[in-house]
Amino acid sequence: MNVPAAWYLVLAAVLFGIGAYGLLTRRSALIMFMCVELMLNAVNLTFVTFARTLSDIGGQASVFFVMVVAAAEVTVGLGIVVAVFRRRHSTSVDELNEMKG
Amino acid sequence: MSATAYALPSIVVFVTAALLIVVGALGVLAVRNPVHAALSLILTLFGVAVAFIAQSADFLAAVQVIVYAGAIVVLFLFVIMFLGVGRSRHDHVEPLVGQRPLAALGVAVTVGGIIALLASSHWVTGATSVSGSSLAKGTGNVHQLGTAVFTTYLYAFEATAALLVIAVVGAVILARRERVTEGAE
């Protein structure tokens, strides 16, 4: 018998927490993107766990679409990072404060 | 319900996946060099792939390795090396006072709340699907997922095509080096 779903859900919660902490504390835009990927993976793990628990393929289909959106997000995000780096010579998000009121 | 009630292989697989995931995630968090952070991210993604296989999501595990570990992380590494970003010098400055304790507190409250919800109630239940009853057996996972994506979720699937095209065009426009018309000036 497989391990209970709650184990995987707790693991996903921990992974989400680690990603959220990194997103809130790190300064480099690249690392922040990686932390967003961690959080997305935590959600994917939750989807797959519920798909197994409820015997519903819809959870896995959702993961499929989350992966597509994550790929698009990383593509555009890294494009923005490259464009910003070309102008500011830094990937630190703290230096992007020109629109501060 | 003691842990010994479950088959030993599944426990071993879970512990392996959990170790890969947590160690990789902490590596992304702690390592200063962005290249090492990307490699730690690969570790986490492989751990998630192991967890997918353990829960009979074979196709998604393959996609996880190919798309995430193969394409997305390589894209990260490509950008890191393209920009020549070294060690981040800015992580020691703290422009917002008390940001780290507040972030830790917020994360602890969130994760603790989720785990408390899990432990205190049986909200992890729902209507079991009638169509996907063979999902747990691990057979025909690709067939099932393909059928679902191309019938039930067909419009969403078509929308992803448009999304990917828009993302590629947007990335090209963003990253394009603007040719300043020096000759005309």
3-state SS track over chain B? CCHHHCCHHHHHHHHHHHHHHHHHHHHHHHCCCHHHHHHHHHHHHHHHHHHHHHCCCHHHHHHHHHHHHHHHHHHHHHHHHHHCCCCCCCCCCCCCCCHHHHHHHHHHHHHHHHHHHHHHCCCCCCCCCCCCCCHHHCCCHHHHHHHHHHCCCHHHHHHHHHHHHHHHHHHHHHHCCCCCCCCCC
Residues B42 and A38 sit within 8 Å (Cβ to Cβ): no
Domain ranges of chain A: 28-89
Residue of B6, B39, B44, B149 to mutate, interface with A, max A Cβ within 10 Å: B44
The CB density around residue B130, as the number of other CB atoms within 10 Å, is 8
What is the structure's pLDDT at A100? 62
> Is there a contact between A57 and B131 if contact means CB atoms under 8 Å apart?
yes
Q: Which residues from chain A sit within 8 angstroms of residue B155, using beta carbons?
A: none
Q: What ipTM, to 2 d.p.?
A: 0.90
Residue of B117, B174, B179 to mutate, interface with A, max A Cβ within 10 Å: B174
> How far is the alpha carbon of B126 from chain A, nearest alpha carbon, in Å?
7
* Cα distance between residue A66 and residue A12, in whole Å: 15
- Beta bridge partners of residue A92, listed in sequence order: A28
pLDDT per residue, tens digit, chain B (185 aa), is 444 567 788 889 999 999 999 999 999 988 888 899 999 999 999 999 999 998 888 899 999 999 888 889 999 999 888 887 665 555 556 667 778 888 889 999 999 988 888 777 665 555 565 554 455 455 567 888 888 889 989 999 999 999 999 999 998 888 787 666 555 44
B95 contacts: CB under 8 Å, gap ≥ 6: A94
> Is there a contact between B93 and A82 if contact means CB atoms under 8 Å apart?
no
Lookup result for tokens 């899990």: B118
Q: pLDDT tens digits, residue range A43-67?
A: 999 999 988 888 888 889 999 999 9
B123 contacts: CB under 8 Å, gap ≥ 6: B117
> How far is the alpha carbon of A66 from chain B, nearest alpha carbon, in Å?
10
> Which among A20, A51, A75 has CB closest to B167?
A75
> Which among B22, B54, B174 has CB closest to A14?
B22
Token couple for B92: 């020691």
